[in-house]
A and B are shown apart, each in its own frame.
With several copies, the nearest count.
Chain A
Amino acid sequence: ETMTIAAAADLKFAMDDLIHNFKSTHPNDEIKVVYGSSGNFTTQITQGAPYDVFFSADIGFPRKLAQMKMTASPVIPYAMGRIVLWSATRNASKMSLSSLTDPSITRIAIANPKHAPYGQRAEEALRSAGLWDKVEPKLVYGENIAQTAQFVQTGNAQVGIIALSLAVNPQLASQGGYWLIPDSLHSPMEQAYVITSHGAENPLAHQFVAYMNSTPARAIMTQYGFVLPSVATTK
């Protein structure tokens, strides 16, 4: 059996581990993963893309698909996304949002709030902290959260607001450090997955979805910085 998963880019590290773990019980099955932007995947799935399961960074996209009757399962939340302040050149764990007004910080990278879920939460947090107007002139926008991280990593932006799941990655964790932005400052960021109509007949897709609720899977997710929804709600 084979199946293809379309996964939001912030899942990259966790998903590799999940699949590795899953395959230990399904040694003969082949699982392909494609990482990318959730918006793109949504468009592609409406045009018949051969993805069996879609892990979105934002619950809005799978819901949209469900409305269009292009899904073969309920929309299942799998995590609450969290954002952090991160720097490659300074110790960000000692910072807070108000440090962003420091004049030595000339560039702050966030994902584009216009369409990137993490960017929207970053903007909300800055606004809630009353800092938006002060820091806006320093902002640069990445197309997605990975590019945002690159702006910071290359030193071109001193600080960035990125996903917790990225910040705990050893590659980034070894540089600087991060400061978790309180989730009270932004609306909850529900992340969810769904089996597409393409995967409806694929038993492997259903098995993988079932696996996501297993203890080992939840452990991996937690390890990569995802905050699990306490109860798997169904909509």
Chain B
Amino acid sequence: MMFLSDGDLQSLVLSLELAGSVTAILLLIGTPIAWWLAHSRAWWKVLVSVTVAMPLVLPPSVLGFYLLIAMGPQGPLGMLTHTLGIAPLPFSFAGLLVASVLYALPFMVQPLQNAFEALGDRPLEVAATLRASPLDAFFTVVLPLTWPAFLTAITLSFAHTVGEFGVVLMIGGNLPGITRVASLQIFDHVEALEYAEANHLALMLLLFSFLVLLLVYARQPARRQDGVS
């Protein structure tokens, strides 16, 4: 990377690591939530649906502030980690993860929920008559058929986490190599009026993200219409 400093490079790697982990975690927890939302008939699922989207409404640094309180020594989360003997979450990569996962949750849940609803029950029924357990059917039928929605969910979650700034700053404390992700680094460059460095890093960030997302898209199977035909 001829025109990137070590610090810049480090922040870039950190960003992609964070975005990758957040996306992976979101796939694990967002998918069941979306599934539940798509299939439950509880009247209050609308509330859950809207609640999932709520963190978005707060300015990120304010959300970060509230999270910092919650994760701090007096906060409920902070007490929990203390009791469990886990290292405190603020100013650590783990803290960034938790906060980013919370913040990006709606980007994962909502597209998936729609896709699951649109898919309907028939493909699962067909799979069941072909001896596939529900879990089996999920991986071998639902997943491939709703792949475009997963793609969207992954794209949005990933991109959004890469660009996240306010929450990450508040929780992470901008520690080089630990929580100083590329978005913080670019911001610092801009604030310090180092526009050339900012531009270079921003360009690299865009490029990398572009490549990562393109890679995801390139694995997209042929277009399909419905679950079954």
Contact = CB atoms under 8 A, between A and B. Distances in A.
Direct contact of A and B (CB under 8 A): yes
A35 to B, nearest CB: 6
B72 A112 contact: no
Interface string A88-114: 000000000000000000010100101
B38 to A, nearest CB: 38
B193 A151 contact: no
B136 to A, nearest CB: 45
Interface residues of B, number: 25
B191 A32 contact: no
Contacts of A109: 173
A18 to B, nearest CB: 15
Contacts of B145: none
A21 interface: no
A207 B100 CA distance: 37
B73 interface: yes
B73 A112 contact: no
Interface band, chain A: 35 or more
A36 B193 contact: no
A47 interface: yes
Contacts of A112: 174, 188, 191
Contacts of B61: 147
Contact of B69 (A35, A47, A147, A157): A47
Interface stretch (A38-46, A187-195, A222-230): A38-46
Main secondary structure of the interface of A (DSSP, over half): mixed
Contacts of A4: 175
Contact of A39 (B69, B73, B88, B192): B192
A109 B172 CA distance: 12
Interface in A100-140: 107, 109, 112, 114-116, 139-140
B68 A156 contact: yes
B175 A9 contact: no
B90 A146 contact: no
Nearest to A9: B191
**Which of B65, B68, B174, B192 is packed against the most chain A CB atoms within 10 Å?**
B174
Nearest to A106: B88
B99 interface: no
**Which of B72, B90, B193 is packed against the most chain A CB atoms within 10 Å?**
B193
A222 to B, nearest CB: 20
B193 A169 contact: yes
A113 to B, nearest CB: 10
A47 to B, nearest CB: 4
A149 interface: yes
Contacts of A155: 72-74
Contacts of B188: 35, 112, 114-115
Contacts of B90: 44, 47-49, 156
**Which of A35, A42, A156 is packed against the most chain B CB atoms within 10 Å?**
A156
B91 interface: yes
A56 interface: no
Nearest to B179: A140
B163 interface: no
Given A36-B174, A150-B68, A154-B72, A114 B191 contact: yes
B54 interface: no
B170 interface: yes
A156 B73 contact: yes
Contact of A140 (B69, B174, B193): B174
A43 B90 CA distance: 12
Contact of B169 (A114, A139, A143): A143
7 contacts: A34-B176, A35-B188, A47-B73, A142-B174, A150-B65, A151-B173, A169-B193
Closest 10 CB pairs of A and B: A140-B173, A47-B72, A115-B191, A141-B174, A115-B192, A146-B191, A154-B72, A156-B90, A155-B73, A34-B174
Interface of A: 4, 9, 12-13, 32, 34-37, 39-40, 42-44, 46-51, 107, 109, 112, 114-116, 139-144, 146-147, 149-151, 153-157, 169, 171-172
Interface of B: 61, 65, 68-69, 71-75, 88, 90-91, 169-170, 173-176, 180, 187-188, 190-193
